[in-house]
Chains A and B, each alone.
Chain A
Amino acid sequence: MTATLDTPTAQSDTAAAVTLSGVRKSFGHGAHAVTALDGVDLRVAPGEFVCLLGASGCGKSTLLNLVAGLDQPTAGSIELTTSRPAVMFQEAALMPWLTAARNVELPLRLAGLKRGPRRAKASELLSLVRLAEAGGKRPHELSGGMRQRVALARALASTLGSAEDGTPGLLLMDEPFAALDAITRDVLQAELVRVWRETSTAILFVTHDVREAVRLGQRVVLLSSRPGRVVREWSTAGVGGAADEAELISDVTAHLREVISGHAAA
């Protein structure tokens, strides 16, 4: 069965990894201002896996940048319980002059960790993404999937580096697998779910792929485009077999198409 949540803030009594209320973001001034996001309310519980779905131009990436603190909202508030969310982009964006292990160490180094614990933590995280052997390699010696896994380890290191007190982390992912081939993406999606279970970080995952969103997320949130608003959300909790999944996928796809075709008329 698929369940549709009527109220986006259904779990309002529990603590949240991040809470967005009435978030609005416009770029530019006056008549030329473009509103990317308008009145977005969203709550991600600790350890929850939320997929943010939308067509291009819906401000998904803008939303992640706001949560990551790379940008400031025009109005509304964003409350984080974690000290600093980790971010993973569509490109691995590893520093090309550092080895894989040094890349993972970088956020720990920036957080002022000593070399010994830094090394230990980095090799632990590399084994978590099954790259224990590749620590000494440079990014150009790795495949696209391996680079993205190093980026995942690095992102995890940045949450751990800032939250040594044990507060659960928050991982923001901006279409991290969009540039990978189908088989690699398949493997990485499963790896991500495994890592998520092992680390119990909350994940806010942006994608335009309905199948990916339904497969990964506990909740799928659909954003409208220009300006981005939360249109509707689904829980994948009741989804058991392939038939259920297919049904949910077609339901979400139908809504996504509706949102997109609304723009043709306007």
Chain B
Amino acid sequence: MPQPDTVDNDLAAVGAGLDALDAPPGEQRASPGKRFLRTALPPIIAFALLIGVWQALWALAFWPEYQLPAPAAVWAAVTEAVRSGRAFEVLWTSVHRAVLGFLTAVVIATPLGLLIAKVRVVRAAIGSLLTGLQSLPSVAWVPAGILWFGATPATIYFVVLMGSVPSIANGLVSGVDQIPPLLPRVGQALGAGKLAAARHILLPAALPGYLAGLKQGWAFSWRSLMAAEIIATSPQLGEGLGQYLHNGASLNDISMVIAAIFLILLVGVGIELLVFRPLERAVLRARGLTGALQ
């Protein structure tokens, strides 16, 4: 009969061998050059193609100039706005409103989402309403906001909140709903009380869904803000991107209108790329959910 010691050592060796064989291989990161080729090049080419088609259509002159301007004319409108400093003022007005509105929405929606997710009565009472609100275009709130608050910043923030709070709260709710039921039980077995479980298990487990909600909430607050700014124009409100677009339409200046749309898109894409994409990547990568990432 073999000695217990050698048996133990053999076992350790087999165990170590299994560990080495079974452990999933570490992910391989491509070189920066390859990553650039794979992630940055396709959108650049797509953008260039779009401009090319646009330029060709303009050159063929199917539509009059006041409907389809030349790419160069739009570019001139953008550079003119940037050179005069107007672009920065306009961007600042809109972006700081959107960010402020969004942060307020986060503060309101997070406890609201937790309440709906964890308290059955609350979910039964307002769960469907919140989902319904999410599909209600927030432009619909602009007339009501103007009647209630006048053409003031309050109207703008009201519309932004109505747009983004449901998205963020719903994101958190679905994040909590998708937690594998075993995890809270494990937490209970490990001795977590209600609050400790929320802090150490519930919130971190719901983070991917919450983050998706935040992302959508940002998109909705940006959208709602633009809707509010385009419709509600008054000297009190200053000039945001929406008013800039509205002015372009009033002046029949299609270059200015398209320049405004370009700037609105630029902010949307910029925030997504600079804030949400890296956050999402970090969260998903830490959990091994790298399927959607490159």
**Binding partners A and B:** yes
A residues apposed to B, CB below 8 Å: 68, 70, 84, 86-87, 89, 91, 93, 95-98, 106-107, 109-111, 130, 134, 138-146, 154, 158, 161-162, 183-184, 187, 190-191, 194
- Chain B residue nearest in CB terms to A183: B18
Which residues of A have CB within 8 Å of B188?
Answer: 70
Is B189 in contact with A86, judged by CB distance below 8 angstroms?
yes
Is A95 in contact with B205, judged by CB distance below 8 angstroms?
yes
CB-contact partner of A187 in B14, B183, B186, under 8 A: B14
Residue-wise interface mask of B (59-91) relative to A, using a CB-CB cutoff of 8 A (1 in contact, 0 not): 000000000000000000000000000000000
For the complex, is B270 an interface residue (Cβ under 8 Å from A)? no
CB-contact partner of A154 in B23, B190, B200, under 8 A: B190
For the complex, is B288 an interface residue (Cβ under 8 Å from A)? yes
Is A84 in contact with B191, judged by CB distance below 8 angstroms?
yes
Q: How far is the CB of B280 from chain A (nearest CB, A)?
A: 14
Is B190 in contact with A110, judged by CB distance below 8 angstroms?
yes
Interface of B is mostly: helix
The distance in angstroms between the C-alpha atoms of A110 and B191, with both chains bound, is: 7
Is A161 in contact with B191, judged by CB distance below 8 angstroms?
yes
For the complex, is B198 an interface residue (Cβ under 8 Å from A)? no
Is B26 in contact with A110, judged by CB distance below 8 angstroms?
no
Q: How far is the CB of A263 from chain B (nearest CB, A)?
A: 28
Q: List 13 A-B contacts (CB under 8 A).
A: A84-B191, A89-B182, A91-B182, A97-B283, A97-B286, A97-B287, A110-B187, A110-B190, A130-B15, A145-B15, A154-B190, A183-B14, A187-B15
Which residues of A have CB within 8 Å of B263?
Answer: none
Known A95-B201, A138-B288; judge A143-B190 contact (CB<8 A).
no
Is B18 in contact with A145, judged by CB distance below 8 angstroms?
yes
How many residue pairs link A and B with beta carbons under 8 A? The number is: 93
Interface of A is mostly: helix
Which residues of A have CB within 8 Å of B192?
Answer: 110
Is A138 in contact with B190, judged by CB distance below 8 angstroms?
no
Is A146 in contact with B11, judged by CB distance below 8 angstroms?
no
For the complex, is B230 an interface residue (Cβ under 8 Å from A)? no
- Chain A residue nearest in CB terms to B201: A95
Is A191 in contact with B15, judged by CB distance below 8 angstroms?
yes
Which residues of A have CB within 8 Å of B182?
Answer: 89, 91, 93
Is A130 in contact with B191, judged by CB distance below 8 angstroms?
no
Known A139-B288, A143-B19, A144-B22; judge A107-B11 contact (CB<8 A).
no
Q: How far is the CB of B129 from chain A (nearest CB, A)?
A: 32
* Other A-B pairs beyond A107-B190, A184-B22, 19, CB < 8 Å: A86-B189, A93-B180, A95-B204, A96-B288, A97-B287, A106-B190, A110-B200, A143-B18, A143-B19, A143-B22, A143-B23, A143-B24, A145-B19, A145-B22, A154-B190, A184-B18, A187-B14, A187-B18, A194-B11
Which residues of B have CB within 8 Å of A84?
Answer: 191
Which residues of A have CB within 8 Å of B12?
Answer: 130
Is B189 in contact with A68, judged by CB distance below 8 angstroms?
yes
Which residues of A have CB within 8 Å of B283?
Answer: 97
**Contacts of B149-208 to chain A: CB distance below 8 A:** 180, 182-183, 185-192, 196, 200-201, 204-205, 207
- Chain A residue nearest in CB terms to B22: A143
Known A107-B191, A111-B191, A194-B8; judge A97-B15 contact (CB<8 A).
no
For the complex, is B275 an interface residue (Cβ under 8 Å from A)? no
Which residues of A have CB within 8 Å of B196?
Answer: 110
The distance in angstroms between the C-alpha atoms of A144 and B14, with both chains bound, is: 15
The distance in angstroms between the C-alpha atoms of A166 and B189, with both chains bound, is: 20
Which residues of A have CB within 8 Å of B14?
Answer: 183, 187
The distance in angstroms between the C-alpha atoms of A43 and B190, with both chains bound, is: 23
Which residues of A have CB within 8 Å of B205?
Answer: 95, 97
Which residues of B have CB within 8 Å of A107?
Answer: 190-191
Is B287 in contact with A142, judged by CB distance below 8 angstroms?
no
Is B8 in contact with A141, judged by CB distance below 8 angstroms?
no
**Contacts of B1-52 to chain A: CB distance below 8 A:** 8, 11-12, 14-16, 18-19, 21-24, 26
